[in-house]
Amino acid sequence: MTPQIYRQGDILLVPINFTPRNTKAVKRENGKLILAHGEITGHHHAFGTDVRNVELVTADEAAELYLLVHGTEYAPLTHQEHATIPVAPGSYRVRRQVEYTPERIRQVAD
């Protein structure tokens, strides 16, 4: 299985060839593993309560997020306004899309 890049709205999952060191797990919210919250609508990019083969971690020295999909089963990434994406097992860096404005660089609101 060759890792690939996944995109869902303003979230980009980029495959990495390493497991990040010195990380701590991001806690689930109401049983869901949420990659990003919408700033306006309250929608979110998440793995549901029944998806147990995923882990979201953050490195102590940076605010970067890493997604780890364990085992051999694909994990469904959901969002209220986007199609569900099956994510292959592997390690990924989680990126938020940014946009450039004359005032500043900012994250895209999804």
**Extents of the domains making up the chain:** 6-107
Q: What is the pLDDT of residues 32-74, one digit of tens each?
A: 999 988 777 778 999 999 999 999 999 866 678 999 999 999 9
Evaluate if residue 86 carries a pLDDT over 80.
yes
Tell me what pLDDT residue 1 has: 58
End-to-end CA distance of the chain: give it in Å, rounded: 30
From residue 10, alpha-carbon distances to 3, 13, 73, 101, 105 in Å are 20, 10, 24, 16, 14
Which pTM value belongs to this model?
0.83
